[in-house]
Every structure is written in structure tokens, then in C-alpha cells.
Amino acid sequence: MKNILDEIIIKRKEAVTQLKQLVPVAAWEMMPAFSKKTKSLKKALQTESNTGIIAEFKRASPSKGIINKLAKVDDVTASYELHGAAAISILTEPEFFKGSNDDLLEVSSALNIPVLRKDFIFDEYQLIESKALGADVILLIAACLTPAQVKNLATFAKQLNLEVILEIHDETELGHICNETELIGVNNRNLKTFTVDINRSLQLGQQIPPGKIKIAESGINKADTINVFKKAGFKGFLMGENFMKEQDPGLAFRNFVNSLHH
């Protein structure tokens, strides 16, 4: 089976190389959002009354193709916030997920909850870009980075006051966890094959060092599943497709939160 992750990384590296030539670091640093105070996802997930849901805006995926091409990013994310999302995740990868930097820029100034930039990050330049676009949190994916790269990028992110979610998928990636990565996401979806198994989070969660904040990612579509994860010590739940596949993602999110409370 072809490795989708490798394909995405090749394309992203080409795009970042081009962007570096067009937009120097100094230009990103002059953008208004670069100097704004960031909001803490860590703090949000530790608030007991919080849903813990990181609600994702995602137009497409490599496994599903177009999920929702009519949804407006500002409407959907405002509805997510209104109905109790702990944070918002914005996919900015353009080719495979049909995301854009404009989506992030548009909502980051309008929302009062933390915004995660979900992309494939491997270069310090992308962290400066993320800050300038208004992100509060960035994602580092263990499957496409070495432990040394994770440590270096997470250290640099902290200098920019960006929080980091380190995403892992199997036992071989536990070694990527370091002092600089306080939020650990366990992806139930294998990024190389895009198959989903929600037991991934439960099995790996037991092996994550104490003191880390655990986030379950992908394949969550029932309130019961969140309760199972909560009992296993998870504080965050990244959900996108479950809402985005509906005609009105904001309404789908509201209904899900209501079922969670009941």
C-alpha cells in the first residue's frame, strides 16, 4: 500500500521551499498576529467544566476525498465556540486536505478559544509562519520527524509562546516524547494507511509518561467513546470528520455536546 504520509511531506517540503523565497521571516514577524498573546490549550483542557473537544474544520482528507466543500470556516468555527468547543483545529494543508492559511488567519482573530494549526511541520520557518497566522498551538507528527527534530521544534515553538501537541500512533514513537512536549495526541488513524482503530489511544495512553496531557484523535463519533477515554485519563478529544460530514457542522457539534451532557 502506498504511504500517503510520504507523499504529503514531499509536497509540503516543495511548498515551504517556494514560500521561503516569496515571504522572508521578517515579513511574517511584522504581521499583527505575530505579537499577539497566545491562548493556552493546556489550561483549557485542565478546566473541569470544559468539553475537552478540539473541534476541527476540515474540507477534505486523503481517505475520504471532499468531506464538505460548502461549509464556511467563520460560521462553523463560531458555532463550535458558541456550543462549547475547548479549542478549534484548522487544517491548512492545501493539496490533500483542501485547507488554506487564509482559514487560519480569518478565524484566529475572531475566536476567544485556542486555535491549533494542523499541518505537516518540519521546519522552524513554519512555526514563525504559524504564529504570524494567529495560531496558539501547533502539531508535530512523530511519524515524519526524528526525536531530535521534535525536541528542537518544540523548544523553538516555546520561544514563540506556541504550545505543541506531539502526535504519536504506535509504541515506536513513544521515544519522541520529551520535556518540551506536554500535550500528547494519540492518533487512532494510521497516517501511512489511513485505517482507524480507536483502541490505539487506550493502549498507548497507558504508556505515556505521567504528567502529560493526553488527547485522543480521529475516529471518535459517539459520546460514549469520549467517556471511555476520560476514564482512561484523556483530557482532549480531536474531532472533525464527524461534524464536517454533516450539512450543518455547527448544529451537529451542538447535538453531540448535548448528548455528552446527557
**Residues with catalytic function:** 56, 58, 118, 167, 187, 217-218
Residues with Cβ within 8 Å of 187's Cβ and at least 6 positions away in sequence, in order, are 167, 168, 169, 200, 217, 218
Cα separation values, 76 from 6, 73, 111, 145, 254, Å = 30, 5, 11, 32, 11
Sign of the four-CA dihedral 69, 237, 103, 80: positive
| DSSP secondary structure code for residue 251 in this structure | H
The C-alpha cell at 127 is 512555526
- For residue 52, count other CB atoms closer than 10 A to its CB: 24
Q: How far is CA 121 from the centre of its chain?
A: 11
For 73, the enclosing helix (H) or strand (E) is helix 73-82
* CA 107 from centroid of its chain's CA atoms: 15
Helix (H, G, I), strand (E, B) or coil at 160: coil
Q: Quote the strand ranges of 67-218, DSSP E.
A: 87-91, 115-118, 137-141, 163-168, 183-187, 213-217
For residue 254, CA distances in Å to 74, 118, 138, 248 come to 16, 23, 25, 10
Contact 142, 173 (CB under 8 A): yes
